[in-house]
Amino acid sequence: MAEPTPTVSVSYKNPPIIERALSVRGDIKPETFYSQFETWRPLVEEEFPEYDPIKEWLVQIGQTKEGMPLLDQSQPVVRVTHRFWRRNQDGRRFLSIRILPDQLTLNLHREGSVPHRYSELRAEFERWLPRWMSHFSVSGCSRVQLEYVNLLSAKVTPQFTDDKGGLMIGRVLKVFAGIPTHHQGIIPPYDCQMGLRIDAKKPAAFHLRVRGLIPGPKQGVGVRIDFLAVVDKGGGYLSLSDVLNEADFLHTVMVEHFDAIFTDEAKQSFEPEVK
């Protein structure tokens, strides 16, 4: 097992991050959630005035021993996530707050060339976490999760797009950089994923997923790289300050893995700022 890498205080002026999300799961009785949600809503709408729920129609798919896909016998469900948006001065959505019966999430999106920073997401989260815990009488939290969505595309990372609109992914991600065979280029699909146990005592884990995106009519090739770091206590208890401390810990995990997963050439192009 590799030794932990010493923390390096490097940030990037232009990383390919298009979205950051910080979530916490709390212990809320369903009666409390549904009786309090209607009074929570106007509080949120003061700062996030645009209600735009996410509606997911979820079907489980299994497969036979022969690999044939089949609908699972369990009953499909509909899940509604209450999402409220804040727009910037140009009228673009950039920050949202999402509510499930036991979960609070804040999502901060890239605004054009402005990728934002963890500190901005953290500041909003620090304001809303105590309100959420107080309003829904959250007795304790069990899970904190930080997610970064990176996008490699002609728009976000033009420095790695060739003349024909192709993506030079082998020059960006270390996992694609050292393929030990003779080849003339890496072609889709790029999809892969892995999980790392970071700290068994917390317990904390890090997950990486790479997915090729289907290009739209006006877009070229795109590759989405999801980083997810999580502390999950199961039935354990995290206080308000614990949640914030764990979020900061997860950010250090994120920084460390960002540094390890992208190539030196890619990081140099992201314009490092050493503090």
Partner 1 sequence: MIAFTAESPSANPQFSPVDGINPSVPSQVLASPTQLTPPSRLIRTYDFPQQLIPLDGGKTLLRLRAPLRLAVDRITLEFDVENWGIRMRCDDVHELPRQIARRFLHLFSRADARVLSNQEQADWLKILDQVDYTQFSVERAAPHYVEGTLLKKRPLTVEWHDGVVEHLPASHSPVFFPLDEGDRFSAFAKLGKDNEVYSIERLALIPA
Q: By CB under 8 A, tell whether 21 contacts partner 1.
A: yes
Q: By CB under 8 A, tell whether 43 contacts partner 1.
A: no
**CB of 78 vs partner 1, minimal distance in Å:** 5
Query: To the nearest 10°, the Cα dihedral for 238, 240, 243, 245?
Result: -110
**CA–CA separation, 34 and 29 (whole Å):** 9
Q: Among residues 25 and 122, whose Cβ is nearest to partner 1?
A: 25
**CB of 212 vs partner 1, minimal distance in Å:** 12
> CB-hemisphere CA count at 13 Å for 64?
4
Give residues 213-252 in contact with partner 1 (rule: CB under 8 A): 224, 226-228
Q: Which two tokens stand for residue 268?
A: 């140099």
**Of the listed pieces 26-34, 158-166, 170-178, 258-266, which binds partner 1 according to CB under 8 A?**
26-34
* 30, 185, 189, 217: which one binds partner 1 (CB under 8 A): 30
Q: By CB under 8 A, tell whether 120 contacts partner 1.
A: no
With 0-12 / 13-18 / 19 or more C-beta atoms within 10 angstroms meaning exposed / middle / buried, residue 253 is buried
* 79, 92, 127, 197: which one binds partner 1 (CB under 8 A): 79
Q: By CB under 8 A, tell whether 59 contacts partner 1.
A: yes
Instruction: Give the footprint of partner 1 on this chain (CB under 8 A).
Output: 19, 21, 23, 30-31, 34-39, 53-57, 59, 61, 69-71, 75-82, 98, 105, 107, 147, 149, 207, 209, 211, 224, 226-228
